[in-house]
Chain A
Amino acid sequence: MTREKDYFQEYRLVQDRPSRLLLSALLFGLVLFPLISQGDSHNYYVFVANLLFINIIIAVGYNIVVGNTGLISLGHSGFLAVGAYASILLMTKIGAPFLVAILCAGLVTALLGFVVGLPALKLEGPYLAIATLGFGIAVEQVLGLFKSLTGGRDGIDTPPYSIFGHVMDTDVTLGPIVLSSEKQIYYVVLFVMVLLTVAAARMMKSRVGRGFTAVRDSAVAARALGVNVTYFKSLAFAVSAFYMGVAGSLNAHMVSHINPSQYGLMLSITMVAMIVVGGLGSITGSILGAVLFTLIHQVLAAQDHLNAIITGLVMVLIIIFEPRGLSGVWRTIVQSFKRSPAVRGD
């Protein structure tokens, strides 16, 4: 087994029985976590976990376009903003139910992603990076401009989560267990996160995922083999924009107020950091990257400059020393473990 990536190895989320067990245990633990941790101070940890799950959705979705399809986009913060505002406006202006609003936000963003992806058909590398960067900045500016609809630069208040008429802004008591609003949100976000991650993993194993990879590795060769490059490039943008839209609206409804400036370039850079440090084109990598940067941001929230320096240096060092990212490190560890005589029983 070489260290080079093998296609199916790469995209298999659960590689063998031990890791399947590990993953089940992890999921079980995640489900139990809010039930075990009671008390007000723990609501903070649950909140961080919610942020983490949303970041995982972001990283997985962003990785589809950058890691799997090889199109550099620096404007994905724009999609998050569009998703957030779309679902807020759907809920407040039209009165759509929460779940419908989130789904519609995802679809609207996907449509926009398809449109934004059109220049990607002609542009490549740095040219695409700058065009998408422009899109991100434009979204931020335009949102700040339409005061009547979006509240302008001051931002807009967001309605809370609500499912089937149950509004999640008060505590719910189930026998001995008290579920705060964070904990109720936790289960919604966890569910969506698992759903979207599994969907991405399955997509990467399917014909669509192979199409993305073919486009990334060589668009010309892919076209020669009958892969519809145009279709897959636009699709990659649309799918990843859908993820952004859902993540954006999940995030917006979790906090009580959003404004356009939080969807700036910094957010796009954080996304790049997450997937590059985690591992381009790898779902495990997206998750690891999201975990790392959510933690770094929380721990260093008070020290802005330290946060920036550490995030930046981690990005630089990972490209220099391990371009495959944390998932590469992880794979190396697993493989050396598998090769060790003790495990093989030699």
Chain B
Amino acid sequence: MNEWTAVDIIIYLFIQGMAIGSLYAMIALGLVLIYRTSDVLNFSHDKMGMISAFVAYLLMSDHMPKLIDWCRGAPLFSSMGDGLITGLALAAVLGLTFCFAFLFGVLTEFFFLRRAKNPSHIGYIVITIGLWLAFDGAASWIFGTEYLSMPAPLSDFPVYHLGKVPISQLDLIIFAATSVLILLLFVFFQYTSVGIAMRATFENRTAARLMGIRTRRIFSITWGIGAVLGAMAGILTAARFDLSNTMMFAPFVKSFSAAVLGGLTSIPGAIVGGWIMGVSENFFGWYISMKLKTTFAFLVIIAVLLIRPSGLLVRHHQKKV
């Protein structure tokens, strides 16, 4: 590192920050999506993502080699190259994991959130904190508490170089995945009927219901989609750091702050907040203090909230009487 110029360091910190920030953004997106539609601040989001990542891990380590072997023997696939087969198998595993995550989200909403009579903000927060604890306990019971690393296609990513600055392929993947997600969500909310129904539910629940939107079903779907976003983030977090039952907590707290920074009801806010968070904490960590990184993150949040109480991209509504 001694030959690096100041510009190199800045580029390096910026790229790293954007990659981590994209991860934060992805987690924050799931949170914001759920919060917008159903008014629930999902504290258990990180544990749900972690559990899905473990499911992906188990599928990959137990079933993917068999699947690949089977593909090599099958007449249809045998003509394909090894790389393609591995890619297809990975896609199958991820598809299954996302199905699991979707169901997980839907069932969580159905069994725990929907049952609450007349809940307040505190009530919802307490339910999801309770779920956080319960999921945490269940996961450490079932999956253990050791640190694992993801199996083959999701580990040991090649490193590219931009001048002197190394860029991991994984960081590019994270960045690309988040960009694709942004596009998909935009299309989803603008052009699909479910997306429009979600927006309507967010705007005014009663009116949406009167217009014939099945708001309860919308809540379930939102939770499902949120859980899938959490699962994606969970798998990427596991690939970038390592897989354990506490792996997602630190990124989760940061993305929570990112969501608050951008405004809890704003989807662009979640993304911008995530990026700001990732880049700024990286610069702070490098130039000022590594150990106070998290503390700094929260000071920024509190400072921003004091100026804009509903986040950067959301107009603050004074409660009317």
Binding site for B on A (CB under 8 A): 66, 70, 72, 119, 122-127, 129-131, 133-135, 137-138, 141-142, 144-145, 218, 220-221, 269, 272-273, 276, 280, 304-316, 319-320, 323
Docked-complex contact B298 and A135, CB < 8 angstroms: yes
Q: From the candidates B35, B141, B306, name the one contacting A305 in the complex (CB within 8 A).
A: B141
Binding site for A on B (CB under 8 A): 35, 41, 112, 115-119, 121-123, 125-127, 129-138, 140-141, 253, 256-257, 260, 264, 291-292, 294-295, 297-299, 301-302, 305-306, 309-311, 319, 321
Q: Residue of A at shortest CB range from B291? A: A145
In the assembled complex, which residues on chain A have CB atoms less than 8 Å from the CB atom of B292? 141-142, 145
Docked-complex contact A269 and B129, CB < 8 angstroms: yes
Q: Residue of B at shortest CB range from A72? A: B122
Q: From the candidates A127, A142, A306, A323, name the one contacting B310 in the complex (CB within 8 A).
A: A127
Docked-complex contact A133 and B137, CB < 8 angstroms: no
Docked-complex contact B306 and A130, CB < 8 angstroms: no
Docked-complex contact B137 and A134, CB < 8 angstroms: no
Q: From the candidates A129, A135, A319, name the one contacting B123 in the complex (CB within 8 A).
A: A319
For the complex formed, measure the closest distance between the CB of B38 and the CB atoms of chain A, giving whole angstroms: 13
Docked-complex contact B257 and A66, CB < 8 angstroms: no
Please report the C-alpha to C-alpha distance between residue A214 and residue B52 in the assembled complex, in whole angstroms.
44
Docked-complex contact B256 and A130, CB < 8 angstroms: yes
In the assembled complex, which residues on chain B have CB atoms less than 8 Å from the CB atom of A309? 133-134, 137-138, 141
> What are 27 A-B pairs with beta-carbon distances under 8 A?
A66-B122, A122-B306, A123-B305, A123-B309, A126-B125, A126-B260, A131-B301, A145-B292, A220-B319, A269-B132, A272-B126, A273-B130, A273-B133, A280-B122, A304-B140, A306-B137, A306-B141, A308-B136, A309-B137, A309-B141, A310-B137, A311-B130, A311-B134, A312-B131, A315-B133, A316-B131, A323-B119
Docked-complex contact A138 and B299, CB < 8 angstroms: yes
Q: Residue of B at shortest CB range from A118? A: B306
Please report the C-alpha to C-alpha distance between residue A212 and residue B156 in the assembled complex, in whole angstroms.
56
Contacts A72-B122, A319-B126: A137 and B298 contacting too (C-beta < 8 A)?
A: yes
Q: From the candidates A124, A126, A312, name the one contacting B41 in the complex (CB within 8 A).
A: A126
Contacts A127-B310, A142-B295: A312 and B130 contacting too (C-beta < 8 A)?
A: yes
In the assembled complex, which residues on chain B have CB atoms less than 8 Å from the CB atom of A269? 129, 132-133
For the complex formed, measure the closest distance between the CB of A100 and the CB atoms of chain B, giving whole angstroms: 31
Most buried by A among B112, B135, B137, B297: B137
Please report the C-alpha to C-alpha distance between residue A126 and residue B251 in the assembled complex, in whole angstroms.
18
Q: Residue of A at shortest CB range from B261? A: A130
The total of Cβ contacts below 8 Å across the A-B interface reads: 142
Docked-complex contact B264 and A126, CB < 8 angstroms: yes
Please report the C-alpha to C-alpha distance between residue A218 and residue B131 in the assembled complex, in whole angstroms.
29
Docked-complex contact B121 and A127, CB < 8 angstroms: no
Docked-complex contact B140 and A138, CB < 8 angstroms: no
For the complex formed, measure the closest distance between the CB of A216 and the CB atoms of chain B, giving whole angstroms: 10
Docked-complex contact A315 and B126, CB < 8 angstroms: yes
Docked-complex contact B140 and A312, CB < 8 angstroms: no
For the complex formed, measure the closest distance between the CB of A264 and the CB atoms of chain B, giving whole angstroms: 10
For the complex formed, measure the closest distance between the CB of A327 and the CB atoms of chain B, giving whole angstroms: 15
Q: Residue of A at shortest CB range from B118? A: A323
Q: Residue of B at shortest CB range from A220? A: B321
For the complex formed, measure the closest distance between the CB of A195 and the CB atoms of chain B, giving whole angstroms: 28
Docked-complex contact B112 and A320, CB < 8 angstroms: yes
Docked-complex contact A320 and B305, CB < 8 angstroms: no
In the assembled complex, which residues on chain B have CB atoms less than 8 Å from the CB atom of A131? 260, 298, 301-302, 305
In the assembled complex, which residues on chain A have CB atoms less than 8 Å from the CB atom of B306? 119, 122
Please report the C-alpha to C-alpha distance between residue A141 and residue B311 in the assembled complex, in whole angstroms.
25
Docked-complex contact B305 and A127, CB < 8 angstroms: yes
Please report the C-alpha to C-alpha distance between residue A6 and residue B256 in the assembled complex, in whole angstroms.
38
Please report the C-alpha to C-alpha distance between residue A162 and residue B9 in the assembled complex, in whole angstroms.
55
Please report the C-alpha to C-alpha distance between residue A208 and residue B140 in the assembled complex, in whole angstroms.
45
Docked-complex contact A319 and B321, CB < 8 angstroms: no
Q: From the candidates A72, A122, A129, A134, name the one contacting B298 in the complex (CB within 8 A).
A: A134
Docked-complex contact B125 and A129, CB < 8 angstroms: yes
Q: Residue of A at shortest CB range from B263? A: A127
Please report the C-alpha to C-alpha distance between residue A273 and residue B153 in the assembled complex, in whole angstroms.
41
Docked-complex contact A312 and B132, CB < 8 angstroms: yes
Please report the C-alpha to C-alpha distance between residue A221 and residue B136 in the assembled complex, in whole angstroms.
41
Please report the C-alpha to C-alpha distance between residue A316 and residue B116 in the assembled complex, in whole angstroms.
9
For the complex formed, measure the closest distance between the CB of A314 and the CB atoms of chain B, giving whole angstroms: 7
Contacts A269-B133, A309-B133, A312-B137: A137 and B125 contacting too (C-beta < 8 A)?
A: no
* Given A127-B311, A130-B256, A319-B123, 8 additional A-B pairs, CB 8 A: A134-B298, A134-B301, A142-B295, A269-B132, A272-B126, A305-B141, A319-B116, A320-B112
Please report the C-alpha to C-alpha distance between residue A304 and residue B136 in the assembled complex, in whole angstroms.
10
Please report the C-alpha to C-alpha distance between residue A142 and residue B293 in the assembled complex, in whole angstroms.
11
Contacts A145-B292, A320-B112: A314 and B130 contacting too (C-beta < 8 A)?
A: yes
Docked-complex contact B129 and A320, CB < 8 angstroms: no
Please report the C-alpha to C-alpha distance between residue A280 and residue B126 in the assembled complex, in whole angstroms.
11
Docked-complex contact B264 and A127, CB < 8 angstroms: yes
Docked-complex contact B295 and A137, CB < 8 angstroms: yes
For the complex formed, measure the closest distance between the CB of A223 and the CB atoms of chain B, giving whole angstroms: 10
Please report the C-alpha to C-alpha distance between residue A320 and residue B257 in the assembled complex, in whole angstroms.
28
